[in-house]
Amino acid sequence: MTKSWLIASNNPGKSRDLAQCLAYYGIVAQPYYEVAPRLDFPAETTTSYIENAKAKAKFAAQQLQQPVIADDSGIEIPAQPTAYGVTTARDLGQTTSGFDRNQALITTMAGVPDDQRQAVMRATLAAAWPDGRVVTTQAMIQGYLAHHQIGRYSGGFDRLFWLPHFGRTLAELPDIWRVPLTHRGHAAAQLQAQLLGQKG
């Protein structure tokens, strides 16, 4: 199995979280921009997490000539059926801070009753090699949207994503509990299993 990876993302927060999730399952990865000049990734589609992740991973693997892992993720909200999902970053602003994205969601969901605040976070990971090989995994987590941002252990949507079973948001859980519960954590676990069967 490949010993080390580069993360194909220009988003420091996503890169940090993904590296942490991968490390939990024994996959060593670091942001590509720590060792190479920044890349201009292909434009994302509006229809497919898998195609977006594969396109980023294959592009970066060819440009860097090293194995890379890319992520495409989003939040899906049944009460807002025409927004978010695969277009989450575009709908909420790709350069908008996680705090401000959350505040925008809080405003959008104002007045929605607790039992209608369901949400799903999805993650797709694509691992690519310079020789053209690609493997992908997908995972999800279900929960509810809190009315306020809560938690200090992580950022982004974790501060809004309420897990009824724990009575807390993801961001209120220490990493040792949080990581295996997250959408990226589940996807990283699946990816680790797939990579064990790969040569090189």
Residues assigned a catalytic role:
72
In angstroms, rounded to a whole number, what is the distance separating the alpha carbons of residues 50 and 55?
8
Alpha helices in the chain (DSSP H): 12-24, 49-64, 88-92, 98-108, 175-178, 183-195
Q: Cα(52)–Cα(155) distance, rounded to whole angstroms?
A: 23
Q: Amino acid identity of 45?
A: T
Chain position carrying tokens 């190479």: 36
List Cβ neighbours of 127 (8 Å cut-off, separation of 6 or more): 2, 5, 57, 67, 68, 69, 134, 135, 136, 191, 194, 195
Radius of gyration of the chain (CA): 17
